[in-house]
Amino acid sequence: MAIDPDFQKKLRIFMVAAILIAGGRAAYIVYERHEALKGDAEPKRETALNPDYYVNPKKLHAYDLKSAQALTAQPVWVKAGYQLTYYPYDRARHKTDFAHEAGLLPPLQKLAIQNVVVEAAPKAPGLKQVMACFALEGKNYAVPIGAEKEGDFRIYADDAFFIQDPRELYNHWPADVWQKIDAHEVQPGMSELQANFAIGMGVPAGSGGYGWRTLHYANAGKPFVITFENDRATEIKAGS
């Protein structure tokens, strides 16, 4: 039986198309294998992790007045810069002058805690303040580090203080960064943590995660607005 010419033509087109598809598939497989071998031959590039991630500052985990006394065993450094209000303290009378604020403790201020006491909160009946007592420039002061009500303590000393020297914890930071921190100044390229060490805690403005946001710094009356990208300060301007 004679094969219809149109059918023969369609069959030839189908066979050519099938060959081209198969050839293309084989070429693609060869290309994939070549790229895989090429990738294996190239030296591996490992992403360097931020050394800050490996720093794990010690904590006291104080839970009552007795455990909070451990603050007196070593110096402390202020972690929450310009967030902690401190007051004059009368050591003879064991009494804090809550009516007169002495100021805000600057970031990384080194303190020698002499005692931890509990005093009645002047504006909160039934609530007592846990106070850390220290001397600064020859005068006695006390700063709140927690509260107590009916025997239930809430101590936030670990949020307030480092009990290890931050300069030793972060000794991998460059010398110029530490010079700025010691002078309470900021510079482009600083991380959020470095800026906090220099001018205190910042308040986020708008959205954005850690290292990718804009923060407002009160900085004890000399405000700054700093924008961070990839945890590096990219824009620093005076605040209002």
**Residues 73-91 pLDDT 10s:** 999 999 999 999 999 999 9
| Mean pLDDT computed over 227-236 | 96
Bigger pLDDT: 1 vs 33: 33
The yes-or-no verdict on residue 8 having pLDDT over 70 is no
CA distance 170 to 172: 5
98 touches 122 (CB < 8 A): yes
Q: How confident is the model at residue 19 (pLDDT cuts 50, 70, 90)?
A: very low
Tokens 């010691």, residue located: 182
| Mean pLDDT computed over 142-168 | 96
The alpha carbon dihedral of 64, 74, 158, 82 has a sign of positive
The pLDDT value recorded for residue 6 is 55
Q: How confident is the model at residue 174 (pLDDT cuts 50, 70, 90)?
A: very high
119 touches 88 (CB < 8 A): no
The pLDDT value recorded for residue 48 is 63
Domains of the chain: 54-162 (2.30.30), 173-238 (no CATH)
The pLDDT value recorded for residue 176 is 96
The yes-or-no verdict on residue 72 having pLDDT over 50 is yes
pTM metric for this prediction: 0.77
Coil/strand/helix, residue 135: strand
Which one, of 18, 117, 103, lies nearest residue 64 by Cα? 117
The yes-or-no verdict on residue 22 having pLDDT over 70 is no
196 touches 166 (CB < 8 A): no
Give the highest mean pLDDT range of 29-38, 42-51, 208-217.
Answer: 208-217
| Mean pLDDT computed over 139-152 | 96
Bigger pLDDT: 218 vs 121: 218
Which one, of 140, 139, 153, 126, lies nearest residue 95 by Cα? 140
Q: Give the amino acid at 66.
A: K
The yes-or-no verdict on residue 154 having pLDDT over 50 is yes
Quote the crossing angle between the two packed helices 175-182 and 192-199, to the nearest 10°.
Answer: 30
- Looking at every residue in the chain, the average pLDDT score rounds to 86
Coil/strand/helix, residue 193: helix
Q: DSSP secondary-structure letter at 173?
A: S
Angle at 174 between CA 203 and CA 57, to 5 degrees: 60
200 touches 107 (CB < 8 A): yes
Bigger pLDDT: 40 vs 53: 53
CA distance 32 to 18: 21
Q: What is the pLDDT of residues 186-207, one digit of tens each?
A: 999 999 999 999 999 999 988 8
